[in-house]
Structure 1
Amino acid sequence: MRMPFVFLAASLLFAATARAEISLNTLLDPIRTKHALPSLAAAVVKDGKLVAVGAVGVRVAGTTIPVTVDDRYHLGSDTKAMTATLAAMMVEEGKLSWNSTIGEVLGSDLPNLRPKFAAITLKELLSHTSGIPTDNEEIGKLYFSADAYEHTLKDWRLHMIDAWGSKHDPSFPASGKFQYSNLGYITAGAMIEKAADKPWERLMYERIYEPLGLATAGLGAQATFGLYDAPVGHRIEADGKITPMAWGESADLPASLGPAGLAHMSIKDFATWAGWIAGGGKRGPALVTPETLKILEAPAVSMEIKNPKPGTPKSGAYALGWGLSKFNWTEKPILTHNGSNGLNFASIAVDPDHDLAIVVTSNIGGQKVDEATLEVMKALYEEFEK
């Protein structure tokens, strides 16, 4: 795999001077075909510049509608780093601190929280050390409750926090243990909303999407209702067949889960976000200071997950919205995260030491796309980290 890509990159370097970036399609299409994916997209930012990008395959399995580099892809839990960045903005503005507790921020709205739950801090929520468990049947019933449609997203988030936190203590008594928790990020999102006095959704647009110029960025299912204007997610059936899940409630997780993972955007805009992170916050816009960004990226807890599902960090350490993992093709741990709503997949790898960012997306979930993504990441990192 290594030698053909080296040849590809070298053969295209001269042509790329006229086009501004190298096309990755020749690399991506054999990998997409090998793993039987509807589509596959990737982009590389080096020293703040988009140097390579590509998108191959179709928006909907069984059709001939090709994907493009401007198509919107679902990012899943890669949204968590954006939520953590919003929290950092609130800390810089003095509206929250890393040690602000759920009770201090939300106690007036949720007076019945159990004391140990109310004592969980913002930093513990963002680092998955809060003791709030990974999604289970009881939490799932809160996410998918029909009652949610009778409330605003802000109010339903508060309801879910109250429903859990008034009945359950953290599953371990103090921070220091990693336990991946979407409900923890929903809770952090509610704390951000309270501090900013604005919905999390508006903050995403006003404080991240618009300053970075992410024109394709949005929230929820990526295709416009009734149109195939983006790569739609695909469900893998028990017999291995795939079913397009284009629109409506089945096309994404409930909207109240936004802070945990409902962003979407093109591979190029995803790369812009990743490139901003790779630059250490020293290139504009000034979302947060470089010093604060270092806090977000500092290891907070070690993590070892057996048989990880696609969309969750695998091993290494977890910071605030970021995993830190050492691959067999990196010298040391780099910032990374996967995201999946079960129908789509997105992965990000950032190496600030080399000012390098790589993003990969697909419109299907599962083990095959996880393997394909790692194959793409390895080839691109080895080519561009120099």
Structure 2
Amino acid sequence: MPCVTAFAASASTPTPPESRTYDHILDTVVARYHLPGIALGVIEHGKVIYVATRGETVAGSGQKITPRTLFEIASNSKAMTTALLGRLVDQGKLRWDDPVTKYLPDFQMYDPWVTRNMRVADLLTHSSGLPEGGGDLMLWPEPNSFTRADIIHGLRYIKPGYSFRSKYEYDNLLYVVAGEVAAAAGGAPYETLMHREVFQPLGLSRCQVGEWNRDTVGDVAAPHAREDGRNIPRQSGNPVIAAITSAPAGGIRCDLDDMLTWARNWLVPTPAQLKWLSAKQRRVLQSPHMLIPVSEQRRDWDDSHIMAYGYGWRMTDVDGTWTVWHTGTLSGMYSELMLLPDQKDGFVFLINGEADAARTVLGEALLKHFTRPDDTRDVTWYADAQQRADEQASKRAAAPDTSKAVPVAPAALAAWTGRYRDPWLGDLALCPSGDRVHFAVAKSPRLNGDVMRLGKRDLVHWSRHGMDPDAWLDFHPAQGGQPATLTMAKVDPLGDFSSDYEDLHFVRTGDCP
């Protein structure tokens, strides 16, 4: 049964029209996309007027999602990281135009000039020159043994994809660096600062970052994968949730109640909240700093003319209304926080399943309730349109059918087996294992699998079910006295950009043991 807590109404009280509207939108999306669980809250004119949940924390468990259920908010963590930095600016401990090397002397980018000129602000706008998702394999898949120091060191080896400050390409690593800047300026670890400077002052009592215990905290949603028409939970049996390197970019967990408190802090800040973060810094965080190309779909659906990135926030005009927002995406966890600052309206939802299309459709249907209330295009219309767009994209960049790939015997790959090293991902063993050849990255245990052959090409098929996408392996012979090398690419061209295999360059370092 749904949980609706925003209206203290008796059984005889008529259901408000807004509730019926939101119920219909929510239920249609849940049914269309078979979501395992979701929590949704809506703010109108600064007040929370609707809170509803559907589904279970773990599919089949019988434990219902509540407004107090913790979800991974993924990249919605970025706005909390920038708010922490804004606090430090207010306190005189940091300036946005300070060089990053003032706080992190070992910080280096590939280009020495960029290193010298990289400001704290440049860490936040996705315009550093890093290719889209560059270096994300040091963050995901989890768990892995990369530290924040490893990331700061590894950045110097990632070749730029474009010139500094010239365009927008989404990255995560520099938000990890931003968290370390905050730690250096604030004199405490990022996790300590987040609790002390953000969670506690705002009363975000359930939000978690750093190490914590799932059983002690309780009511925690597990991520799910969609397989063979079923929602399959992905949850470790260990109740201790370890601190993770990626926290400043996407590692915070919160419940719906706290996310609504967080949202209202931006829409209708109280005097105490304006002391917590000044009006000046609020404007800085939510002002356009880097333009983002506007997609054809946004122009068609939303009549959008401009899109930009602030510090941890995106912003777009939708049907003539200014919106400030962000999404969060992790394997099996999707979220969206949408603000319409001029009207003091907004919404937030948290999903514990694979929900790329569902998030787009739900977000659009909810947004139209505010920006174009007479819109005749309902959830089904948007869902059908999104499905057509996804199908067209798949046809344009179709992934090959890998079902006929066969394991490669060690003898067939003898010329290439051995130990390799990439300057930022580290050591790789490509060695015989029984009658197969196994690929294993030392610092990322889930990046392991058997080498397969499809036609005339080799690929690695990841051992862990649900890991994607698989990767092509392209071997290059030794020449000019230099050792053999190995490069990689996504088998599925539309695979997640965080699987940045294309940025890897392995050099052979020795034989297999």
TM-score bracket for this pair, using the shorter chain length: 0.7 to 0.9
Which whole-Å CA distance do the structure 1 matches of 2:58 and 2:142 have between them?
A: 29
The structure-2 alpha-carbon separation of the partners of 1:146 and 1:372, relative to structure 1 and needing over 3 Å to count, comes to closer
Which whole-Å CA distance do the structure 2 matches of 1:377 and 1:220 have between them?
A: 33
- 1:257 equivalent among 215, 232, 246: 246
- For 1:55-106, what per-residue CA distance to the aligned partner results, in whole angstroms no more than 9, with x for missing partners? 1111122333211122112211011011111111222222221112222221
Greater relative contact order (CA < 8 Å, ≥ 6 in sequence): 1
SS of the residue 2:126 aligns to = coil
Partner of residue 203, structure 1: 193
Q: How many angstroms does 1:324 deviate by?
A: 0.6
Q: 1:161 and 2:158 equivalent?
A: no
Q: 1:373 and 2:370 equivalent?
A: no
Unaligned runs of 5+ in 2: 1-6, 298-303, 374-513
Q: How does 1:175-190 map to 2 (within 5 A)?
A: 175-190=165-180
Q: 1:325 and 2:316 equivalent?
A: yes
Partner of residue 93, structure 1: 91
Q: How does 1:46-61 map to 2 (within 5 A)?
A: 46-61=44-59
Q: How many angstroms does 1:247 deviate by?
A: 2.8
Which whole-Å CA distance do the structure 2 matches of 1:145 and 1:68 have between them?
A: 27
Which whole-Å CA distance do the structure 1 matches of 2:276 and 2:38 have between them?
A: 30
SS of the residue 2:245 aligns to = helix
8 Å CA contact 2:321–2:371 kept in 1: the answer is no
- 2:222 equivalent among 213, 232, 248: 232
Partner of residue 307, structure 2: 316
The structure-2 alpha-carbon separation of the partners of 1:295 and 1:263, relative to structure 1 and needing over 3 Å to count, comes to same
Which whole-Å CA distance do the structure 1 matches of 2:316 and 2:158 have between them?
A: 32
- 1:342 equivalent among 327, 331, 348: 331
Q: How many angstroms does 1:287 deviate by?
A: 2.4
Partner of residue 103, structure 1: 101
8 Å CA contact 2:191–2:210 kept in 1: the answer is no
TM value normalised by structure 2: 0.61
Identity of aligned residues (%): 24
The structure-2 alpha-carbon separation of the partners of 1:371 and 1:171, relative to structure 1 and needing over 3 Å to count, comes to closer
Which whole-Å CA distance do the structure 2 matches of 1:227 and 1:273 have between them?
A: 20
Which whole-Å CA distance do the structure 1 matches of 2:91 and 2:170 have between them?
A: 28
Unaligned runs of 5+ in 1: 1-8, 150-155, 309-313
The structure-2 alpha-carbon separation of the partners of 1:48 and 1:248, relative to structure 1 and needing over 3 Å to count, comes to farther
Q: How many angstroms does 1:255 deviate by?
A: 0.7
Which whole-Å CA distance do the structure 2 matches of 1:112 and 1:337 have between them?
A: 27
**Amino acid in the other structure paired with 2:289:** A
- 2:182 equivalent among 189, 192, 195: 192
8 Å CA contact 1:45–1:52 kept in 2: the answer is yes
Q: How does 1:1-386 map to 2 (within 5 A)?
A: 15=13, 25=23, 27-107=25-105, 109-110=106-107, 115-118=112-115, 119-136=117-134, 139-141=136-138, 148=145, 156-165=147-156, 167-168=157-158, 170-219=160-209, 224=214, 229-237=219-227, 239=228, 241-247=230-236, 255-279=244-268, 284=273, 286-304=275-293, 316-327=307-318, 330-378=319-367, 381=370
8 Å CA contact 1:132–1:184 kept in 2: the answer is no
Query: How many corresponding residue pairs?
Result: 355
8 Å CA contact 1:60–1:232 kept in 2: the answer is yes
8 Å CA contact 1:45–1:357 kept in 2: the answer is yes
The structure-2 alpha-carbon separation of the partners of 1:223 and 1:71, relative to structure 1 and needing over 3 Å to count, comes to farther
Higher helix share: 1
Higher strand share: 2
TM value normalised by structure 1: 0.79
- For 1:260-309, what per-residue CA distance to the aligned partner results, in whole angstroms no more than 9, with x for missing partners? 0111111111011011111267562622101110011111111127699x
- For 1:239-262, what per-residue CA distance to the aligned partner results, in whole angstroms no more than 9, with x for missing partners? 454320123699999710000011
Q: How many angstroms does 1:341 deviate by?
A: 1.0
- For 1:27-50, what per-residue CA distance to the aligned partner results, in whole angstroms no more than 9, with x for missing partners? 523321222101121112334432
